[in-house]
Structure 1
Amino acid sequence: MTRRLEVLPAAEPAEVSKAVRAALSGTGPAILPREPLAAPRARHASGEAGAPAIPAEVPKNIALVIETSGSSGVPKRVALSADALLASAGATESELGGPGQWLLALPTHYIAGVQVLIRSIVAATKPVLLPPGHFSARAFAAGVDELAAELKFSSIVPAQLARLVDAGESDAGIRDSLRELDALLIGGQAVPAALFARAQDLGLKVRRTYGSSETSGGCVYDGHPIGQTVARTTGGELELAGPMLAEGYLGDEELTARKFYTDDGRRWYRTADSGEVVNGPTGSQVAITGRLDNVIISGGIKVALDRVERVVQSREGFHGAIVVPQPSEQWGQTAVVVTAEPFDEGALAELQAAVTEAVGRPAAPSRIVKLDVLPTLSSGKPDRLAVARALARQ
């Protein structure tokens, strides 16, 4: 049995909300919210760059398809059932203390954005939608002021949090509005510790979330698996199980078989993240240590660039910097710090010393590169492919 798959412009969140409601109830087609056609990802839809064409129909149990690009830039199409999406929304509602009203500040072609709409449907509340265009702390604060329910929530990425914190530190009105949120979920990537501390110092009720399209969004909050989520590590890789898991990847049975498997009657998702899980009397505690695929060989030693990046971001003036790999005649590969902020002449030596102490000499960055603007994806995550291209041109 199949159902029709409808492609929708993600720039129309009100229309996406109506369509996702119908998709969840089974009264409408499955949906695939997409970026504007000008975006590079749209070129993959016709089968270019190794991606198959979007099918006209999907299995009947699929309600939502989310396109997500890996390091290659070729999109994977994550197929999610209504049961998985509703299980995720229900777990979030329980974790946050009950149904509330949401402020949508993320694009709806990302799982975190569409989940704000689904959580609103589950809560029977109307989400407040930020106006389209450049993210503004003042507009976000005005959106918070429109929330009228007893519990008020929003979900953003670290880049947006940085703008809110900067504005909140200098503007009491914005700060007061942000404090009205009962939970401000931060996901999509690791939150720099210094930024998180600044947000807490402002009185913001920030929550770190971890998850992906394959888990219907965030399923670990502040290191604690929510709802029926179960976490474990196998060979150092974090694996997740629970009713929120995706059915797999549309049109890619081989990748589905590699990433999802059943063990002793339970279905697991291999996250490709390294981590640790400690089981205690109050439940499991999950610590993410980095991406298994974000590793270089420097001087014959494996170096996890996520660890290097955390050290770099802990240093004053580099909270928004990223660390990327580059070829090196001496080391084979080396870490390079990329930032959009000015830095002092002695900054490289200071970073090298800090990284050497925390991670080891082979991990020390070989240079710092300043770009006029650090490119980001529409989700707010750093666009590491664009950064790599920029470095190649230098």
Structure 2
Amino acid sequence: MAHADTLASLLDDGTTRAVLPVPGDTAAAARLCAALGAGEPIGDDVTLVISTSGSTGTPKGAQHTAAGLRASARATETFLGGPGNWLLTLPPHHIAGLQVLLRALGAGFRPGIVDVRAGFGLDDFVRAADGLDGPRRYTSLVPTQLIKVVDSPAATAAARTFDAILVGGAATPELLQRKAIDAGLAIVCTYGMSETAGGCVYDGVPLDGVEVRIDTPAGGPGPGRIVLGGPMVAHGYRNLPDHPAFASSPTGPRDGARRFRTDDLGVVEAGLLRVVGRADQAISTGGLTVLPEVVEQVILSDLSVAECAVLGLPDPRLGERVVAVVVPSGVDAAGVDTDAVTRLVAARLDRFAAPREVFVVAALPMRGPGKPDRAALRDLLSDKTSDEKRTLKTEKRPADLGGMQAGRKSPGRDFT
């Protein structure tokens, strides 16, 4: 596997390289290198700079140390029952895909790889799963990939051979979770981000060494901002060194642990973390606040819907109106009853949360593995006339395995 030695060195304290994983697209890689200061000096202990998904504009570069990456890998192994080999099905220039490679290499295995540059192929997944060695076998999927797996008897049979399947990148609908479990798949729903070296909460339970706090106004009841702490938290951003998200938590840094204040809203129920949405994506409609993720979970309980993104569009009367964009579970867009979708949300939640418009598309634009690009959808819908919206189509951007850009850390601690 190309770059295996470079990747393995990320787990060593004495490594001479700082690595920035980049997509395979030359122009995108150049933009990322420019934004994150490739080739410029960097801190002595930083071995990895990983780009965020860029949900708020310019990507930020989370800086990680070898010690933090090792802590993340050990915590994952402890939760799952021991080290093993991993099958990569995600782009490695994102943290989830990169961690699959690092966990396998750190455990002394050569990871299996599914080339997803042209999309996630079920035949490729089955072949790669059959050829994966190791005493324990793991993989990581996003919900859209899991949907395809459980709808294929051959892929489902291959997936049953894994000791655990991490599912993250986006919220996993309850209906999909039940379907996967009923099919005999050992799924683990994960929560984390680039700033925490990937998943750090599994099935609502913090991994070893991870602290979860809910930051609510005036200490009131949740939901509130999720604050994560532990050795795997990044040492700030490469291009935004004083970003307030890495400031001390409101209760103070008792133990000196690094903490990251996310933009996610959550509650702790029966000792388990439940993520309910993002503060920066809340829709203000008619004086009420609607969290898109909550509406999406209701819509995804409709068997005719495979994928969904909910967003707010400007409205002269309401301020914002709730809009849903859905991908049908079958090939026929007519299989989705858009009026039924609206009624379902109104019945489960509230009529104010029900989408005023529902658009059926072939695929959602994505900004990272499993992450719908709401900004792109907002731009598309805002630029369309009413007639154009009725026939709206979006083009799915294939995931990219990408490459690695590496540079010497010394002399001068150059970073690429």
TM-score range, shorter chain: 0.7 to 0.9
1:179, distance to aligned residue in structure 2 (A):
0.8
Corresponding position of 2:408: none
Corresponding position of 1:166: 151
Corresponding position of 2:267: 276
Percent identity over the alignment is: 36
CA distance in 2, matches of 1:316, 1:29: 48
1:82, distance to aligned residue in structure 2 (A):
0.7
How many correspondences in the alignment?
368
Q: Secondary structure at the match of 2:314?
A: strand
CA-based RMSD of the aligned residues comes to 2.0
1:353, distance to aligned residue in structure 2 (A):
2.5
- Pair 1:347–1:330, CA change in 2 (3 A): farther
Structure 2 residue runs without a partner (length 5+): 217-223, 385-416
Corresponding position of 1:315: 302
Corresponding position of 1:178: 159
- Pair 1:277–1:16, CA change in 2 (3 A): farther
CA distance in 2, matches of 1:27, 1:343: 52
Corresponding position of 1:123: 107
CA distance in 2, matches of 1:69, 1:175: 29
CA distance in 1, matches of 2:22, 2:140: 19
Corresponding position of 1:199: 180
CA shift digits 1:350-375 (9 cap, x unpaired): 22232223332221100111234322
- Pair 1:148–1:345, CA change in 2 (3 A): closer
Corresponding position of 1:212: 193
Contact 2:225–2:264 (Cα < 8 Å) also in 1: yes
Contact 1:129–1:143 (Cα < 8 Å) also in 2: yes
CA shift digits 1:83-115 (9 cap, x unpaired): 111000000011111111111111111111111
- Pair 1:218–1:346, CA change in 2 (3 A): closer
Contact 2:245–2:262 (Cα < 8 Å) also in 1: no
Q: Secondary structure at the match of 1:361?
A: coil
Deviates more, 1:199-208 or 1:376-385: 376-385
Structure 1 residue runs without a partner (length 5+): 1-13
Task: Kindly report which structure 2 residues correspond to 1:247-262, keeping only aligned pairs within 5 A, or say none.
Answer: 247-255=235-243, 257-261=244-248
Corresponding position of 1:69: 53
CA distance in 2, matches of 1:355, 1:144: 39
- The amino acid of 1:227's aligned partner reads D
CA shift digits 1:37-70 (9 cap, x unpaired): 3454643543xxxx46434221011111101133
- Pair 1:136–1:214, CA change in 2 (3 A): same
Larger strand proportion, structure 1 or 2? 1
Q: 1:36 aligns with which of 18, 21, 24?
A: 24
Deviates more, 1:264-273 or 1:99-108: 264-273
1:346, distance to aligned residue in structure 2 (A):
8.7
Contact 2:85–2:132 (Cα < 8 Å) also in 1: yes
- Pair 1:367–1:89, CA change in 2 (3 A): same
Q: 2:207 aligns with which of 217, 222, 226?
A: 226
Task: Kindly report which structure 2 residues correspond to 1:14-29, keeping only aligned pairs within 5 A, or say none.
Answer: 14-25=1-12, 26-29=14-17
1:190, distance to aligned residue in structure 2 (A):
0.3
Q: Secondary structure at the match of 2:266?
A: strand
CA distance in 2, matches of 1:69, 1:154: 21
Q: Secondary structure at the match of 1:335?
A: strand
CA distance in 2, matches of 1:268, 1:123: 27
Corresponding position of 1:4: none
CA distance in 2, matches of 1:90, 1:272: 26
Q: Compare relative contact order (CA 8 Å, sep 6+) and give the higher one, 1 or 2.
A: 2
1:131, distance to aligned residue in structure 2 (A):
3.2
1:328, distance to aligned residue in structure 2 (A):
1.6
Corresponding position of 2:123: 138
Contact 1:194–1:319 (Cα < 8 Å) also in 2: no
Corresponding position of 2:82: 98
- The amino acid of 1:88's aligned partner reads S
CA distance in 2, matches of 1:374, 1:129: 25
- The amino acid of 1:118's aligned partner reads L
Residue 241, structure 1, aligned to residue 229, structure 2: yes
TM-score normalised according to structure 1 size = 0.88
CA distance in 2, matches of 1:44, 1:142: 33
